[in-house]
Amino acid sequence: MSILVNKDTRVVVHGITGSAGGFHARAMIEYGTNVVAGVTPGKGGQTFDGKVPVFNSCEEAVRRTGANAGVCFVPGAFAADSVMEAAAAGIPLVVCITEGISIMDECRLRAFLKDTSTRMIGPNCPGLITPGEAKLGIMPGYIHKKGDIGVVSRSGTLTYEIVWQLSMLELGQSTCVGIGGDPVQGSDFVDILKLFHADPGTRAVVMAGEIGGTMEEDAAAYIREHMRKPVIAFVGGQTAPPGKRMGHAGAIIQGGKGTAAEKYRALREAGVTCVLDPADVGRTVKAVLGTC
């Protein structure tokens, strides 16, 4: 089984006529994702690559095609409004790939979504994929292999590295979710861990965190109280100097909090198998599963 998306998911792509949206929409379709609509205001009535209808609004796209998931490639200045439009149209899942959204817009978006039934993945994320069924985002589909290992990560690059190691060891994935590295996000580790915990098709979970914030500590608390499946974790930024931002907007240590050491300590106390070198993640997963 899987979480969030499968072969029956009907996808609308926001910004499908743009360069990024068009490029990745083609890649999603080639992978087998059921892309049923695109949205670009002012370009309604056109078709994308002669196959996918384009609508002026998400509401019309949902009404005409039954779309039940969205992917946003809209530029940063307009992305929050695009996601809110999707939520207002009743779409239960929106993946926001866009980076460069202002923190003010992210806060406004998060507040808006609290009053809806829409789950957002992102922003500033690679998206998610259920191997062999559907991908919503920018992940390279060929590195993934269908299986029963769940993957959730704050870093797109780490996601790809971990997935490649797993696939090379014949450890397929149920679903892989990149939650993004911005400080204000739609879904955090706990949100995704809950889904993996409830999914009978997920046997174990790999979690890739990084310095900054308290998401890993929150995840550790959830794992300690609820998870009965093995969790293997890596935390990036172990050598980062305090107070220095390291790439992602959320990856900053402030006031001595959010360090890799603190996160590893919380995870170990929760019974998580911790990996210090990202190159060892795949081998560690295989070893852990061999003892289960």
Active site residues: 248
CB 236 within 8 A of CB 208: yes
User: Which amino acid, one-letter code, is at 156?
Assistant: G
Strand, helix or coil for residue 193: helix
For the chain, the helix, strand and coil percentages under 3-state DSSP, each to the nearest 5: 35, 25, 40
* Helix (H/G/I), strand (E/B), else coil: 259: coil
Q: Strand 34-39 and strand 10-14: pairing?
A: parallel
Angle CA 283–287–289, to nearest 5:
120
| Distance set, CA 289 to CA 9, 231, 269, 283, 292 (Å) | 30, 10, 20, 10, 5
For residue 123, cis peptide bond before it (omega within 30 degrees of 0): yes
Alpha helices in the chain (DSSP H): 19-31, 58-65, 76-88, 103-113, 156-168, 189-198, 215-226, 260-269, 281-290
CA distance 3 to 107: 26
In the chain the first and final C-alpha atoms are separated, in Å, by 20
Rounded to whole angstroms, the maximal C-alpha distance in the chain is 57
